[in-house]
Amino acid sequence: MRIVLGVALAGFLGALARYGIGFLIPASGAPAAFPWATVFINLSGSLLLGLLTGWLMGRPALAWAGDVLGTGFLGAYTTFSAFNGQLWQMLEHRAYGVAGVYVLVSAAAGWALAALGLTLGRRRMKQA
């Protein structure tokens, strides 16, 4: 029951963090504009999940932290649905170039940052 409450609380905080970043990086309002806030959120979330995963490797006693921080906080913080909704708007407005860059940056940079985070997290685990 504690893990469920932890995931719920962390999810609440992750959603608030995501919402707050929307104020720091406001959207232009144009449907075909590049969604900088969503890109920042998803890329930083990829890096953080990689760091968390790498740090938790070999620490079975802390498996709950993966649920609370990974599923709870980062699951609510990152947003695949916003990515898809924004991509759909770009395609509807025939902003194919912007849409292509959005997909490429989100996928390639997201993967690269997750891999970097995993590598750095593993190093921290070995040092501890």
Annotated binding-site residues read 75, 78
Which residue do the tokens 């999810």 mark? 11
> Binding-site residues for Na(+), please?
75, 78
Q: How many CB atoms lie within 10 A of CB 54?
A: 22
Instruction: Return the SS3 of 99.
Output: helix
Question: DSSP string of 3-39?
Answer: HHHHHHHHHHHHHHHHHHHHHHS---S-TTS--HHHH
